[in-house]
């Protein structure tokens, strides 16, 4: 049975949407055959061909590459070096930090458009962030582990002060999900340009002030050189002892040693981590046993959720390549996202 979404279209239960609007690229890639690498599953071949594209092995005629691995950047680099006629590359995930050195090296290449899946997975990831937040505040993780009747404890999300770091698709969807809880929301982003749905928006210089009164801090920013260890010992010390931290962005945003210390000392009340550094987090790592630390093993967007969203993103961008339309998820190589 299908259900009507807020935009009026019919969709099956559990079916997510890509909410990102297309934008005009700085230059127009030349249309031509598209290679799907390093392998070509049927679903993604169909995404290209249903949009009118032609899938063919990598050759001098190739004009676009759909890269389906979140690793093996050196192979993609070799393909691009050997085939200068490629003018469009689609990357598979929202974050492109795994390709940062390659993006930086080719940032000066005039005719190369990069797109990623940024924003495509906003709905499932925002849902997971909300689930982690409610679990931490309500103490569901400790109650679920109890083997006897637990004490009646827990904190409501209603009216709480929530800080969201990042202003992309996840933050936008998260603000929508948080609206019924009537939270006081502060979005921290690179500029103070207001974000619809937020109580206030501040630039990155306002992070410390926002943390000082936060009851929930949710990290939804891209992983770049500027955001590495964005939350460290100093930032954790600023947060109230009753605050919880949720990270559904990238593990590199958090100094994990400092977080472990903060959890064990009671400096903050808890943490929900869907992402860590490294991944997988090794068995025996201190965070596995840190008090009130929930680790969900990067499952905010499962393959069952992401595959149709990525296929839709690929199809939209193939159509743009062929028709001269706007692309979705354009990456700024200089900024790294």
- Which residues participate in catalysis according to the annotation? 250, 279, 298
- Where b means 16+ CB within 10 Å and e means fewer, 60-88 reads eebbbbbbbeeeebeebeebbeebeebbb
Kindly state the DSSP code that residue 55 receives in the 8-state scheme. Answer: B
Structure tokens at 102: 């390659």
User: What is the CB neighbour count within 10 angstroms for residue 291?
Assistant: 13
DSSP letters for 135-168: HHHHTHHHHHH-SSPPP------TT-EEEEE--S
Kindly state the DSSP code that residue 116 receives in the 8-state scheme. Answer: -
- Sign for the pseudo-dihedral over CA of 221, 290, 130, 118: positive
User: What is the CB neighbour count within 10 angstroms for residue 280?
Assistant: 10
Instruction: Quote the strand ranges of the chain, DSSP E.
Output: 3-4, 10-11, 34-37, 64-67, 88-90, 113-115, 161-165, 184-189, 200-203, 216-219, 244-247, 270-273, 293-295
- Where b means 16+ CB within 10 Å and e means fewer, 44-53 reads bbebbeebeb
Task: Tell me the HSE value of 88 on the side-chain side, using a 13 A CA sphere.
Answer: 31
User: Distance (Å, rounded) from C-alpha 40 to C-alpha 11?
Assistant: 27
Residues written for the chain: 337
- Sign for the pseudo-dihedral over CA of 159, 165, 166, 171: negative
- Measured in whole angstroms, the distance separating CA 87 from the mean position of its chain's CA atoms is 25
User: What is the residue whose two structure tokens read 């103070």?
Assistant: 192
């Amino acid at each position: 049975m299908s259900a009507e979404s807020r935009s009026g279209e019919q969709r099956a239960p559990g079916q997510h949407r890509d909410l990102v609007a297309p934008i005009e690229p700085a230059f127009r890639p030349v249309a031509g055959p598209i290679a799907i690498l390093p392998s070509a599953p049927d679903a993604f071949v169909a995404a290209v061909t249903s949009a009118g594209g032609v899938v063919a092995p990598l050759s001098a005629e190739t004009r676009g590459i759909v890269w389906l691995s979140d690793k093996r950047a050196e192979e993609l680099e070799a393909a691009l070096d050997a085939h200068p006629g490629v003018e469009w590359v689609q990357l598979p995930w929202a974050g492109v930090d795994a390709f940062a050195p390659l993006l930086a090296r080719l940032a000066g290449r005039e005719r190369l458009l990069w797109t990623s899946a940024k924003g495509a997975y906003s709905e499932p990831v925002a849902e997971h962030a909300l689930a982690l937040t409610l679990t931490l505040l309500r103490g569901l993780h400790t109650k679920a582990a109890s083997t006897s009747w637990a004490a009646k404890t827990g904190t409501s999300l209603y009216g709480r002060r929530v800080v969201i770091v990042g202003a992309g698709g996840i933050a936008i969807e998260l603000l929508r999900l948080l609206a019924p809880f009537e939270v006081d929301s502060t979005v921290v982003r690179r500029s103070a340009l207001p974000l619809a749905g937020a109580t206030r928006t501040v630039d990155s210089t306002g992070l410390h002030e926002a943390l000082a009164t936060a009851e929930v801090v949710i990290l939804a920013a891209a992983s770049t050189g500027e955001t590495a260890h964005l939350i460290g010992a100093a930032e954790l010390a600023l947060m109230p002892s009753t605050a919880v931290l949720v990270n559904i962005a990238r593990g590199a945003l958090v100094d994990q040693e400092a977080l472990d210390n903060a959890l064990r000392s009671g400096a903050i009340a808890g943490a929900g981590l869907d992402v860590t550094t490294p991944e997988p987090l090794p068995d025996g790592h201190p965070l596995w046993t840190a008090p009130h630390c929930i680790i969900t093993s990067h499952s905010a967007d499962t393959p069952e959720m992401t595959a149709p969203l990525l296929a839709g993103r690929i199809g939209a961008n193939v159509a743009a390549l062929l028709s001269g339309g706007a692309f979705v998820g354009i990456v700024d190589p200089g900024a790294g996202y």
